[in-house]
Amino acid sequence: MNAPTTTLTAAPAAPVPGLARALGGVWRLTYPEFFRTRRLLVLAVVCGLLFLLTAQNVRHGQTEFFYRWVVEFYLTFVLPSVALISAAGAIRDDMASVSIDYVLTRPVRRPVYVVLRYLCQVVCLLVSSLAPLAALFGVGIMHEVDRLGAMLPHLLLAQGLIVAGFAAVGFLFGALTTRYFALAIAYGMMVEMGVGQIPTQVSKLSMTHHVLAMLQPLVPGARGMHAPESAATATGAILLFVAVALGATVAVFSMREFTGAGTAEK
């Protein structure tokens, strides 16, 4: 059989990838993976455990203890861990062949892709983190904790800041190494639990420090060792952390070569 000959015709105009369309594409790739049945089951189990653990520890009418539990256990331990590990896993998945071969061969610049991916990841994390907060509030209602409605906006803001900040750090760790879990533990122990507890200015390097300082005057039971911060100051500080971590991730991701098959990325 003769090989077909090629007739060169006028080339169709290459599509121009706009930011909004690229965001739409990344969102369509992100949220179905995030809300898969298996993941939702895991989320349900986590919420159930959180509910049981909280219900076990909080007694009827212990308003201050309830909020301290929410802030110190959930907001400064559970949520940061989940946000960081989930984001690190997401960017790591993007370095596997399924993303490299189909997504990174599209005309979207890698820095743009990383930022869009981060935004979609944070939105998905924020949506899914409403469930554990609802579980905690369920315990609060059950034990007739005071001022739940008034505290909700503060806790939602704190939740948003924690998710945004730790997801950015997770992206950086995931982009840097496959052993992001070990890096996350080291970071948590050294920066958030170590440096963040030192009663000097250096504690401002800890993201949870800023969130605690913001919640201190607002939420009963939220203890801070330093001067309280306004919501705007805390938000600005966390956004600075996000910018630095995301900038570093963009730099690492953009320079990285993908040798494929989910094996040796170099």
Partner 1 sequence: MTPIIHAENLSRFYGLVLGLNNVTLDVSPGITGIVGPNGSGKTTLFRLLTGQIRPSSGRIEVFGQVPWNNPAVLARLAYCPENEAVPAALRPLDWLVALGQLSGFAAREARARGAAALERVRLAPEHWKKPVAKFSKGMKQRVKLAQCLLHEPRLIILDEPMNGLDPMGREDFSAVLRELARDGTSVLISSHILHDLEALCGAFILLRNGRIPRASNEAASAEARRRWPAATTIRCDDPRALARHLFACDLIRGCEIQDERGTLHVQWSDSDRFHADPHGILLASGVAIHEVRSTASFLERAVEPSLTP
Q: Please report, as ranges, the residues that interact with partner 1 according to CB under 8 A.
A: 1, 3-9, 11-12, 14-18, 21-22, 24-26, 28-29, 32-33, 36, 96-98, 100-110, 254, 257-262, 264, 266
Give me the least distance between CB of 203 and partner 1, in Å please: 39
Whose Cβ is closer to partner 1: residue 125's or residue 213's?
125
Half-sphere exposure of 257 (CA within 13 A, CB side): 3
Whose Cβ is closer to partner 1: residue 60's or residue 266's?
266
Whose Cβ is closer to partner 1: residue 94's or residue 229's?
94
Give me the least distance between CB of 256 and partner 1, in Å please: 10
Give me the least distance between CB of 44 and partner 1, in Å please: 17
Whose Cβ is closer to partner 1: residue 29's or residue 158's?
29
The amino acid sitting at 242 is V
Question: Please, are residues 90 and 121 in contact by the beta-carbon 8 Å criterion?
Answer: yes
CA dihedral over 218, 223, 228, 229, signed as positive or negative: negative
